[in-house]
């Protein structure tokens, strides 16, 4: 049984395993407590509950050291499906940046790191924001863009998914992952949007977080020196746009298929 880690159902699968005697593989996409910014004790308790499976599918290369590295495991960073690049017409000659993800209400958050970095970039750059959040968060975002005089270079495009999302990414020059979450929390995650960006061939600028730095896609990412708006803007300016990460993603896909098959054979005995 491959169980996608659900915080509220894991105990049930482990309990049934006592009687049914099946092999349990847990797919760990993140620690929910870490993603929610909870205390170390709460995170450790969740991690403790994840122990005891027969094998694991982890979302980053750090999790085995926190949960279980003596049992068979494979690592999958996300969806490795390479999306066909579409020939699209840019709206203007600006270098078009895309940010996709949560629009937080907090000033100290990913989206506001991105916005504040735009203050240090000239008019040759534009930022398109694709995201979701509460009505309060979205209204605050729009107001901030106006108040900080960013309207000429920053546009909130709404929330897109599926083909609309992929088509929009294909109309951008590069993507950003301004992660404000500290390493002691982000160590338990992997930003899924990074794989989405790479799978359409977009170069990516990210803050320096260990879960990406110690991954097999680290060479595809341009890292800022810190989670500081000025540092992040400098990384954007230095970005080489003449790169294509698609071949690496295709290679990771083939590698994962082989590794997963080997894991299933190992567990099945």
Helical pair 10-20 and 40-50, crossing angle rounded to 10 deg: 30
% of the chain residues with pLDDT over 70:
96
What is the C-alpha to C-alpha distance for residues 132 and 148, in angstroms, rounded to an integer? 21
Q: What is the DSSP string of 24-89?
A: -EEEE---HHHHTT--HHHHHHHHHHHTT-SEEEESSSSHHHHS-SSS-EEE--S--PPPPPP---
Answer whether residue 89 shows pLDDT above 60. no
Place of tokens 């896909």: 253
Residue pair 131/100 in contact (Cβ under 8 Å)? The answer is yes
Contact 77, 173 (CB under 8 A): no
* 106 touches 90 (CB < 8 A): no
pLDDT digit string, tens, across residues 152-170: 999 999 999 999 999 999 9
> Which H or E element spans position 258?
helix 246-268
| Residues in contact with 106: Cβ distance below 8 Å, sequence separation at least 6, in sequence order | 112
pLDDT tens figures, 3-39: 988 877 877 877 888 888 889 999 999 888 887 878 8
Higher pLDDT: 20 or 208? It is: 208
**What pLDDT digit, counting tens, does each position of 111-143 carry?**
999 999 999 999 999 999 999 999 999 999 999
pTM of the model: 0.89
pLDDT of residue 87: 47
So what's the pLDDT on residue 10? Answer: 77
- What is the average pLDDT value for the chain, to the nearest integer? 91
């Amino acid at each position: 049984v491959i169980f996608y880690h659900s915080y509220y159902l894991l105990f049930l699968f482990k309990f049934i395993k006592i009687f049914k005697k099946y092999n349990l593989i847990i797919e760990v996409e993140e620690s929910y407590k870490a993603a929610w910014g909870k205390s170390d004790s709460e995170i450790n308790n969740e991690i403790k509950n994840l122990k005891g499976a027969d094998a694991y599918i982890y979302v980053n290369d750090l999790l085995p050291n926190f949960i279980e590295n003596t049992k068979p495991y494979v690592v999958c960073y996300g969806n490795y499906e390479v999306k066909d690049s579409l020939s699209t017409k840019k709206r203007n000659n600006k270098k078009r940046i895309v940010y996709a993800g949560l629009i937080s209400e907090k000033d100290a958050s990913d989206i506001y790191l991105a916005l504040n970095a735009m203050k240090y970039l000239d008019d040759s750059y534009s930022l398109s924001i694709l995201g979701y959040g509460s009505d309060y968060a979205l209204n605050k975002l729009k107001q901030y863009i106006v108040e900080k005089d960013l309207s000429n270079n920053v546009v909130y495009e709404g929330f897109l998914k599926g083909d609309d999302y992929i088509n929009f990414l294909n109309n951008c020059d590069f993507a950003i992952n301004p992660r404000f979450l500290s390493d002691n929390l982000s160590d338990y995650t992997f930003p899924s949007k990074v794989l989405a960006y790479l799978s359409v061939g977009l170069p990516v600028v990210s803050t320096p977080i260990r879960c990406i730095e110690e991954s097999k896609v680290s060479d595809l990412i341009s890292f800022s020196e810190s989670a500081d708006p000025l540092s992040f803007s400098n990384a954007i300016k230095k970005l080489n746009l003449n790169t294509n990460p698609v071949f690496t993603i295709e290679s990771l896909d083939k590698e994962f298929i082989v590794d997963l098959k080997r894991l299933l054979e190992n567990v099945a005995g």
